[in-house]
Structure 1
Amino acid sequence: MNSREPQDMMRAVVYDDYGDADVLHLTNLPLPRRLPGQLLIEVEASSVNPIDYRIRSGEMKALLLGGFPRVPGYDVAGVVADCADDAPFSLGDRVIAFLDHARGGACADYAVCAIDVAAKIPESMSIEEAAAIPLAGTTALQSLRDHGKIAAGMHVLINGASGGVGMFAVQIAKAYGCHVDAVASGAHEAFCRSLGADHFYDYKKKDFTESRERWDLIFDAAGTSGYFESRDVLHPKGRYVSTEPDVKGMLMTLVTWPLSKSGTVMLAKPSGDDLRELITLYEQGKLMITIDSCFEMAQAAAAHRRVENGVDQGKVIVLNQRHATDESNQIG
C-alpha cells in the first residue's frame, strides 16, 4: 500500500442539521478510511455548487434522510495520499474527483472516492481550475452528449450560459462543432461571446421561448425555463435537458419520453473518463475555466452565500489553507 500515513483526525466543515449557511462550522473529524478500490485524497481545493446549499438547506431531505454531521461538497482537487499498489495512481499524483458519496465530503482535509471517479490533472492546470471542473463540467458534458445527443452542425441553446455549468456547456457545444446561442443577463454578453457563443439573448429583454429561431437542443443550465414553455422553439425530434432535480421535473421526463420532442431532467454521474475528456479539452485550448472568487475553508459559509445569492460568472472555489496560522472555528 502507498500511503503518506496522515494523522488520525482532520479538519472539516460540517453541519449538524439543515439550515442557512450559518449552520456550517469547522471541526475535527476522524480521517475517512480508504476501502479497497478507493483513493484517499489530500484535499487542496474544492468548489461550491448550487446542489450543496440545496442539500444543506433541507430541500432534498426526502432523498437524503438523516446522517449528521455532514461534510458538504462534491468537487475535490488535491494529491493522492493513499492507494493500493496496483491502482492506476501513485502516491503524490495530482488528481481531481467528483465524489461518489450521496452526501458529499469534499470540504475537508481528506476525502475518499472510488478509483474510477478520479483523474490525473496536468501541471498546466492550476489547483483552482481543477477544483472547478468535476460536478459542473461533468453535468454539462453528460447533459449535452448523453442526454442531448449532441452532434456537429446542431443548433444548441444554453440557458444560464454565464454560470458554473453554463460556461462549460457553451464551450463543450462549440468543441463538438455546434452553433451555440447563449442566454444570460446583458451584463454577461461579452463573457458568453468569449466562451464561443455565436448569438446572445439577454433574458431581461427577450424571452427565447418567443423567438422565431428553432433549436435541436435546449439545455437549461439555470433551471429557469421549462419544457412545456420551450417545446415550441424546438425542431421536430429536438431535445430539452434541464438540471432541476425536483418532482415536477421527473414527471416531465416521464410524460415527454414518448413524444417527438423529449424533455429530460438529468443528474450527473461521477466518471473519471468524463473528467479526462474535459481535461483533454482544456489541454487543447478548447475549455477556458473562469473563477468567480476564492475562499478559505474557514470561510465556507461565505462561499455558500456567494453561490446562493447568484454567481455572475464562473465558479466559487474553497481553498484548503491547512497550514494557516488562524485555526479559528469561526466560519465567515
Structure 2
Amino acid sequence: MNMQTEQRKQTTRQYNFATIKPLKLMHAVVFDNYGGASVLRTGVVEVPRRLPGQLLIHVEASSVNPIDYRLRRGELKGLLLFGFPRVPGYDVAGQIVDCDPDAPFKPGDRVMAYLNHLRGGACAEFVVCPIDVAAKIPDTMPMQEAAAIPLAGTTALQSLRDHGQIAPGKRVLINGASGGVGAFAIQIAKRYEAHVTAIASGSNEDFCIDLGADRFYDYSEVDYTNLGEQWDLIFDVAGKSGYLDARRVLSEGGRYVSTEPNAIEMFMTVVTWPLSKSGTVMLAKPSAADLRELIELYELGKLKVTIDSVFSMNQAADAHRRVEAGVDHGKVVLVNRF
C-alpha cells in the first residue's frame, strides 16, 4: 500500500490535464462510523469512476457547512443507507480532468460544483459530478473563495428567490445574518432591491451593515417578534425561531423560510402552504444555473466572499470543530493538502 500511495503521489504531481493518466487511488477525508469530529481521518480510497454526462474534477478546495457535521454525527442517518467509509463535503472548487467530448467544458477548466450526491464526497483529491451541477469560474476568482460559495450561496439564493419570492421593495428579515448563508443572503437580497433587516450577535453589526443590511439588531438584546414591526419575508438561517413565532410579524401574504429540517417545521410546511402567511423548510438543490448567477454577482462586485479560516484536508477534524463551535462570520475552507 505504501508503494502504491507513493506512486499515486508522484503521478498526481506530474498530472497533465490535457493528457489523462488514469489513477486508481487517491487521498480523501473519511469516517467509518458516526460520532464527533475525531472520527474523521485521512485515508486512501479509489478514485471515483466518471460516467457519461459526468465530470471528473481535481479538487483544489472545499468548505465545511453545518450539514457536514450533522451528517457525521448521525443526525440524518436514515437518509444514508449505504454504509461506510464515507467522504464528507459538498462544495468543490478545482479543475476538470476528464469529461465527454461534447460537454460544455474541457480538461483544465476551472470550475465550482455543488455535489448532488446525498453522501457528499468533496473532501478528496478527485470527485465526479453531473455536468448540470458545475459552472466555470473566472480566472480572477481564487479557488478558496470559489469553494465557499456553492452550498451556502445556493441555499441563500433559492431561499430568497424561489421560496421567499423576493422582489424590489420587499421588507426582508434575515435571522443569523452573519454566518455563511446569512452573509450571502444579505447581499443577494440587496441585489433584488429589498430592504434588509439583519439579526446577529452585536459584534457582527459592522460586518452586516458593510454587506448592505439597512438595519441591524443584536439577537441577545432584541426579540424581533416583539418589535412591533412587520416583514414580507423572514429567512431564518439560524433556526432559532419558528413559523409560529414569526407569523405574527409577517405581513399579509408574507413568507417564512427556514433551513432547519426539524419535524415541527416540516409539518408547518405542509399545513401552511394554502394560508396567506406560509412557512417553508427549504432544502437546496444543486443547480449549475444558480451557480452561474452567483458567479455573475461576484464578477459584478455584488457578492463578497468572507473566509473565516483555512485548514488543510488533513486538518478536517479541526475544521469541523471550528464550525460546530460557531463561526462569527464567513466560511471555513479546506484546501487540498494531505
TM-score w.r.t. structure 1 length?
Answer: 0.95
Find the residue that maps to 1:62 and give its secondary structure: helix
Structure 1 runs of 4+ off > 2 angstroms?
Answer: 1-6
Distance in 1, Cα, partners of 2:218 & 2:44: 46
Distance in 1, Cα, partners of 2:305 & 2:134: 19
Distance in 1, Cα, partners of 2:93 & 2:141: 11
Shift of 1:247: 1.8
Look up the equivalent residue of 1:42 and give its one-letter code.
H
Distance in 2, Cα, partners of 1:3 & 1:138: 33
Partner of 2:203: 187
Look up the equivalent residue of 1:240 and give its one-letter code.
Y
- Does structure 1 conserve the Cα–Cα contact (< 8 Å) formed by 2:115 and 2:286? yes
Partner of 1:326: none
Find the residue that maps to 2:78 and give its secondary structure: coil
Partner of 2:60: 44
Partner of 2:325: 309
Partner of 1:289: 305
Partner of 2:241: 225
Unmatched runs of 5 consecutive residues or more in structure 2:
1-16
Identical residues among aligned pairs (%):
68
1:224-273 Cα shifts (integer Å, max 9, x gaps)? 11010001110000000000122222101011112110000000000000
Aligned length: 322
- Does structure 2 conserve the Cα–Cα contact (< 8 Å) formed by 1:11 and 1:27? yes
Distance in 1, Cα, partners of 2:71 & 2:31: 11
Matched, 1:102 2:118: yes
Q: Please, which of 196, 217, 222 is the counterpart of residue 201 of structure 1?
A: 217
Distance in 1, Cα, partners of 2:315 & 2:156: 27
- Does structure 1 conserve the Cα–Cα contact (< 8 Å) formed by 2:18 and 2:108? no
Partner of 2:288: 272
Matched, 1:140 2:140: no
1:39-78 Cα shifts (integer Å, max 9, x gaps)? 0000000000000000000000122224211000000000
Q: Please, which of 251, 254, 262 is the counterpart of residue 238 of structure 1?
A: 254
Q: Give the root-mean-square deviation of aligned CA atoms.
A: 1.1
Distance in 2, Cα, partners of 1:94 & 1:321: 18
Distance in 2, Cα, partners of 1:65 & 1:180: 41
Label 1:33 to 1:148 Cα distance change in 2 as closer, same or farther (>3 A): same
Matched, 1:150 2:172: no
Shift of 1:3: 5.7
Q: Please, which of 150, 163, 166 is the counterpart of residue 179 of structure 2?
A: 163
Look up the equivalent residue of 2:41 and give its one-letter code.
H
